[in-house]
């Protein structure tokens, strides 16, 4: 059954243009919604760290119980998320096929608001509620990286930013390194004296053809899709080439081992050919894994049981704000809200799951509250 308030809010926010670094319009709407619910809203300067126009939003409402809970989603979306025209067919929401849908992460925002409305009208005692909407998540977790977690009283929370059916939770996710290589060769006339040159393009190809990549093991991947050369003519031996990509692993040691292997492999090939080499190794975020016995997982299990929703605890393949928060001592896991095929024009949102995700947000708050005592 359609929940009119959630559905209307979903359409409102999906059709509010937003992008990484350009979240001001949606931030104003969300701040107003939080204030109407009685939250005190503040913003930080996270946008300044990556050239964005606004910062993260923090909404706080004090409670009568001793404890605090964090609920978080991100405000931005991947490119091709402007001018979205939602289309509903048979209980599923799509875009019109020319853009993404932006259910990632508008559906998470709406689930949080529905959960808040439910618990605030229930009259039940509540802990301190901290609602956090981040910027620049899709372009590099910039909002989370700029977060001072000491602002939060909460020591655990839920990130409403995961694909899948309602009841799916992401309790582990990979860490990520950006890796790149710049190869310096030596120009020479390709027809008269090619043997006097050092072909940077060929060396790049040799590096990549012998570099371990793709699915490396059950928890580790690597991918290098971006290639370039400095050549503009076919009659000159290429003197500059570069490639870049990434490595991911849910095991921090395996990630570190691959980064070391990448460096050694590229250096070996370059030295053999007499080429210059400059490597780039940038840690984007660390992996996390929350064990089943942790309180944040046990609360999720109990909340799903109270609603009769089957639950699962799985590993994700991408980074999320939880990677940053967990590394800084704030225990968080991802919550699915019913979307799939995110980041593509085929993105879709199962509305029944979306509506139930609002119920789940309320149940997570209420289940956490049951573990708190009165001040």
CATH number at residue 365: 3.40.630.10
**Is 76 one of the annotated active-site residues of the chain?**
yes
Q: Which of 285, 309, 327 is the last residue of a domain?
A: 285
If one counts every other C-beta atom within 10 angstroms of the C-beta of residue 187, the result is 17
**What's the total number of domains in the chain?**
2
Helix, strand, coil percentages (3-state) for the chain, rounded to 5, are: 35, 30, 35
255 and 363 co-located in one domain: no
158 and 23 co-located in one domain: yes
140 and 268 co-located in one domain: no
Q: Are 110 and 13 in contact (CB under 8 A)?
A: yes
- Tell which residue, 92, 87, 139, has the closest CA to residue 343: 139
Q: Which of 245, 263, 285 is the last residue of a domain?
A: 285
127 and 145 co-located in one domain: yes
162 and 188 co-located in one domain: no
- Tell which residue, 305, 340, 316, 342, has the closest CA to residue 159: 316
256 and 355 co-located in one domain: no
The count of C-alpha atoms lying within 13 angstroms of the C-alpha of 191, restricted to the half-sphere facing its C-beta, is 3
Marked catalytic residue, from 23, 44, 76, 246: 76
- Tell which residue, 117, 128, 23, has the closest CA to residue 67: 128
Give the separation between CA 358 and CA 6, rounded to whole angstroms: 8
Structure tokens given for 187:
């120009």
Q: Classify each residue of 111-127 as buried b or exposed e, where b means 16 or more C-beta atoms within 10 Å of its C-beta.
A: bbbbbbbbbbeeeeebb
Give the separation between CA 349 and CA 358, rounded to whole angstroms: 14
Quote the pTM value: 0.91
144 and 223 co-located in one domain: no
Beta strand 168-173 with 312-315 is parallel
Structure tokens given for 301:
């299990």
Marked catalytic residue, from 137, 161, 359, 366: 137
**Is 35 one of the annotated active-site residues of the chain?**
no
- Tell which residue, 293, 304, 292, 3, has the closest CA to residue 165: 304
Greatest distance between any 2 Cα atoms in the chain? 86
152 and 29 co-located in one domain: yes
Q: The tokens 């503009």 sit on which residue?
A: 232
Residue 1's pLDDT is what? 63
Residue 317's pLDDT is what? 85
21 and 120 co-located in one domain: yes
**181 in helix, strand or coil?**
strand
185 and 125 co-located in one domain: no
193 and 275 co-located in one domain: yes
327 and 362 co-located in one domain: yes
- Give me the residues of the chain with pLDDT under 50, please: none
Q: Are 243 and 208 in contact (CB under 8 A)?
A: yes
Q: Which of 259, 285, 311 is the last residue of a domain?
A: 285
Task: Return the CATH number at 236.
Answer: 3.30.70.360
Residue 219's pLDDT is what? 93
Give me the domain span that covers residue 250.
180-285
The DSSP secondary-structure symbol of 47 reads: G
């Amino acid at each position: 059954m359609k929940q009119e308030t959630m559905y209307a809010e979903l359409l409102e926010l999906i059709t509010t243009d937003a992008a990484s670094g350009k979240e001001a319009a949606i931030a104003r709407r969300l701040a107003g919604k939080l204030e109407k619910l009685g939250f005190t809203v503040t913003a930080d300067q996270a946008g300044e760290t990556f050239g964005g126009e606004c910062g993260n939003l923090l909404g706080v409402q004090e409670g009568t119980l001793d404890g605090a809970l964090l609920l978080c989603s991100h405000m931005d979306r991947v490119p091709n998320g402007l001018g979205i025209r939602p289309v509903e067919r048979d209980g599923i929401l799509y875009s019109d096929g020319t853009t993404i849908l932006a259910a990632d992460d508008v559906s998470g925002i709406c689930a949080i608001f529905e959960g808040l409305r439910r618990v605030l009208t229930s009259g039940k005692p509540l802990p301190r509620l901290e609602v956090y909407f981040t910027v620049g998540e899709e372009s590099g977790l910039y909002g989370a990286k700029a977060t001072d977690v000491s602002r939060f009283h909460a020591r655990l929370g839920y990130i409403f930013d995961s694909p899948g059916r309602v009841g799916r939770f992401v309790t582990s996710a990979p860490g990520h390194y950006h890796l790149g290589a710049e190869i310096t060769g030596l120009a020479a006339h390709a027809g008269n004296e090619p043997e006097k040159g050092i072909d940077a393009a060929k060396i790049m190809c040799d590096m990549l053809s012998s570099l371990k990549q793709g699915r490396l093991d059950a928890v580790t991947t690597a991918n290098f899709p971006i290639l370039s050369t400095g050549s503009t003519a076919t009659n000159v031996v290429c003197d500059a080439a570069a490639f870049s990509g990434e490595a991911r692993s849910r095991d921090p040691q395996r990630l570190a081992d691959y980064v070391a292997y990448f460096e050694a492999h590229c250096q070996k090939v370059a030295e053999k050919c007499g080429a210059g080499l400059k490597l780039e190794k940038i840690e984007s975020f660390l992996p996390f894994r929350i064990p089943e016995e942790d309180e944040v997982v046990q609360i999720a299990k109990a909340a799903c049981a109270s609603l009769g929703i089957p639950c699962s605890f799985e590993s994700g393949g991408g980074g999320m704000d939880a990677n940053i928060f967990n590394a800084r001592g704030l225990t968080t896991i991802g919550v699915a809200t019913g979307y799939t095929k995110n980041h593509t024009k085929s993105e879709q949102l199962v509305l029944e799951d979306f509506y139930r995700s609002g119920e789940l947000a309320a149940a997570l708050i209420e289940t956490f509250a049951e573990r708190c005592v009165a001040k």
